Amino acid sequence: MNRDKRIAVLSPVAWRTPPRGYGAWETVAANITEGLVARGWDVTLFATADSITQGRLHAVIDRGYEEDRTLDPKVVEILHISELMENAGRFDLIHNNYDFIPLAFSRLIPTPILTTIHGFSSDKIRAVYRKYRNNGYFVSISDSDRDPELPYLATVYDGIDLSTVTFRPRPGRSLVFLGRIHPDKGVHLAVEAARKAGMDLIVAGIVQDQAYFDTCVRPHIDGRSVRFIGPVDAAQRNELFKEAYAVLHLNELPERFGLVMAEAMAAGVPVIAMDRGSCREVVDHGRTGFLVDNTDQAAAAIDKIPAIDRRDCRRRVEMHFSIDTMVTGYEEVYAKIFAERIRLKPPTVCEPAALTAAQPNYS
């Protein structure tokens, strides 16, 4: 592998990279950066100024806009992205972990952009991807989360840092829900399934939809059969898995990847997940957990948890969802891009001829 290329990794600026607590895209961007640096790549991370990396840090935004509410998110993201675009010439490849904006300006720079599509924040942004589909390279984070009109180079699953997740050979006593408190994530279904199985449930995560929390979750919290512990950082999450008999991931919407399922399995915790989106790519049904269609099936699956060998859960993550696996995946993608040697269509306005023609009075 030719590791003398200069890579720019673009992380969001909602949170620090890596984030102190919640911040899925920033987590993955950090793992990609640190994984590449560990293998000898020259990586510059574009992120908030308080970010932490073993690579080079390039920052024009002091703090994440979710951590400093005096900031205007639109101003911050535009300044962050334009800073990278201005410095594009210093890199052989831009690895974009942001949303669609860098793509819209991709024809203005000579450097190829690889975009990991961590999710379409809305269907309306697909128009940008489609317009610029031939001006960039794309990676999906699961086979199921693909737009049929985009030319993907590969699926590269998110990788987690296994050194931060302790393997727990013995099951805990509670079911656990871990994730954003939002209807999409099916917290209310986890409550229902736990009740049907007659087991306790611990709910952890940031409240993203307060009305949903107030009406569908809070009424069930009694401090015993259903406990709510709020957001957890990496260390608290690691402790939480000690108490976990299984993780309930009864998502209402198709999952794009499902980092939390991989994290649970890394701790040896089996996962019971709705068979929607990427869940069947992450959970090995019958071996590291169960895929279900409703809460009755979820309750029945809870009874079958003793059949799972928790070491199989850990092994599956080591094989498929580790930073190492992810970085190997990206190295293969980078190699394809560099080997292609088919230069992207030259930027529209940056050709020397265009420069001359455009500015008869400025020479």
The residues that touch its own copies, with contacts defined as CB under 8 A, are 5, 71-72, 74-75, 78-79, 82, 85-92, 100-101, 104-105, 107-111, 122, 124-125, 127-128, 131, 338, 341, 343-344, 347-352, 354-355, 357-363
- Shortest Cβ 356–its own copies spacing (Å): 9
- Rounded to whole angstroms, the Cα distance separating 164 from 155 reads 24
Q: What are phi and psi of 191, to 5 degrees?
A: -60, -45
- Rounded to whole angstroms, the Cα distance separating 77 from 105 reads 14
Q: Which is nearer to its own copies, 61 or 279 (CB)?
A: 61
- Shortest Cβ 71–its own copies spacing (Å): 7
Block residue for tokens 């009075």: 361
Residue type, 51: S
- Shortest Cβ 170–its own copies spacing (Å): 49
Pairing of strands 93-96, 56-58: unpaired
Q: Which is nearer to its own copies, 141 or 344 (CB)?
A: 344
Q: Which is nearer to its own copies, 122 or 163 (CB)?
A: 122
- Shortest Cβ 79–its own copies spacing (Å): 6
- Shortest Cβ 103–its own copies spacing (Å): 9
Q: Which is nearer to its own copies, 3 or 173 (CB)?
A: 3
Q: Where are the alpha helices (DSSP H) in the chain?
A: 24-38, 73-86, 101-104, 126-131, 187-197, 210-212, 234-242, 259-266, 279-282, 295-303, 310-320, 323-340, 352-358
Q: Which is nearer to its own copies, 124 or 170 (CB)?
A: 124
- Rounded to whole angstroms, the Cα distance separating 180 from 213 reads 10
Residues 127-155, buried b or exposed e (16+ Cβ, 10 A)?
A: eebeebeebbbbbbbbebbebeebeebeb
- Rounded to whole angstroms, the Cα distance separating 34 from 322 reads 13
- Shortest Cβ 129–its own copies spacing (Å): 10
Q: Which is nearer to its own copies, 3 or 131 (CB)?
A: 131
Residue type, 6: R
DSSP state of 346: P
- Shortest Cβ 264–its own copies spacing (Å): 34
- Shortest Cβ 297–its own copies spacing (Å): 37
- Shortest Cβ 340–its own copies spacing (Å): 9
- Rounded to whole angstroms, the Cα distance separating 270 from 306 reads 10
Q: Which is nearer to its own copies, 163 or 359 (CB)?
A: 359
Q: Where are the alpha helices (DSSP H) in 73-125?
A: 73-86, 101-104
Q: Which is nearer to its own copies, 147 or 200 (CB)?
A: 147
CA distances to 74, 190, 201, 202, 269 from 245, rounded to whole Å, are 42, 13, 10, 11, 7
